[in-house]
Structure 1
Amino acid sequence: MVGLDGVQKMSKSRNNSIMIKATPEETARSIKSAKTDSERYITFDHEKRPEVSNLIILASLCLDQDPYELANEIGDQGSGQLKQITAEAINTYFEPIRKKRKELEINKDYVRDILHKGISKPRQTSITTHSEVTEAMNMKI
């Protein structure tokens, strides 16, 4: 997936990505800053219009819609409309995830309990395996 700069792979370190933890406003700002081209009519063409196609792909994935159909719907409304649709689609898609994340941020004890429960079985397995290996290698002291 190409980043919002339209050139490099999407990456947090390149500051060309969309963060799940971002607010809807931050997401909209990121999408508005995404590189597009000067052609008004929106088409889905990876070869000739990689930046525009990248936004179409992001929106179509979030909307579960065919990218060609989405591009046709936007048509002559231009890249401003494409960016608005993309931002809304991403924000709608991430809304339940962002909501759950906020709930978990508030309830840190619950998260700690889940982590402790999740680590207990692998920890016991590793202790047992370590014991078996040291015995098999005749390394028990």
Structure 2
Amino acid sequence: LTRDLAQRFNTRFGATFVVPEPYIVKATAKILDLQHPEKQMSKSLGGSGCLNLLDDPKVSAKKIRSAVTDTGREVVFDREGKPGVSNLLTILATLGGSTVEALEERFAGAGYGDLKKEVAEVYVGFAEPFKARVDDLLADADRLDGILADGARRAREVAAARLAAVYDAVGFLPGKG
């Protein structure tokens, strides 16, 4: 969306915005639902198939442990034949800093339960600091308001020059548009 808006504006009014380059990691561009691994994980579907960063860690671990896997016991990456296991391997590789190939070797001879247990541990270790920080900020409304006000002030400072360029490109007078 940002790229589209910047490109459209620049086409119509001249080079005003830097068009951001997308950064999409192919392996994690689409994390699948834990209960329906043929579908993309989605907040709108919610339920036990979606991991939310702010869920209680025990809830997240339970969702992962109850993730749908596939027939058989072999832990191998096969997006078509074993979408559930492949999804868990993708999550673990991404959050654990490993490769899918290395994980396949490590889990050779292990069962799906072992994979789910490790995915749950790594995910909880990844998500807990986020949840703790949010809980900490929400516990002190005055501090949170101060952080938001400071962020708004800094954003206005950074945006002022770009906004002036936009006004100029569009033909608005600053403060009059």
Q: 1:91 to 1:110 in 2, by over 3 A?
A: same
* Equivalent residue number for residue 39 of structure 1: 72
Contact preservation (8 Å) 2:77, 2:89: yes
Name the amino acid aligned to 2:45.
Answer: R
In the alignment, does 2:141 pair up with 1:108? yes
The offset of 1:26, in angstroms, is 0.2
Name the amino acid aligned to 2:64.
Answer: I
The offset of 1:32, in angstroms, is 2.0
Q: Distance in 2 between matches of 1:76 and 1:58?
A: 20
In the alignment, does 2:40 pair up with 1:9? yes
The offset of 1:122, in angstroms, is 4.8
Q: 1:62 to 1:122 in 2, by over 3 A?
A: closer
* CA offset digits 1:62-100 (Å, max 9, x no partner): 110111111221222211111111100100111222221
Q: Distance in 2 between matches of 1:59 and 1:34?
A: 13
**Gaps (5+ residues) in structure 1?**
none
In the alignment, does 2:57 pair up with 1:18? no
Q: Distance in 2 between matches of 1:112 and 1:10?
A: 32
The offset of 1:33, in angstroms, is 2.3
Q: State percent identity of aligned pairs.
A: 26
Name the amino acid aligned to 1:117.
Answer: D
Q: 1:39 to 1:112 in 2, by over 3 A?
A: same
Deviates more, 1:2-11 or 1:71-80: 71-80
* Equivalent residue number for residue 117 of structure 1: 150
Q: 1:122 to 1:99 in 2, by over 3 A?
A: closer
Question: Aligned ranges for residues 1-141 of structure 1 at < 5 Å?
Answer: 1-4=31-34, 5-15=36-46, 16-122=49-155, 125=160, 133-134=172-173
RMSD: 2.6
**Gaps (5+ residues) in structure 2?**
1-30
Deviates more, 1:106-115 or 1:84-93: 106-115
TM norm structure 2: 0.67
The size of the alignment, in residue pairs, is 136
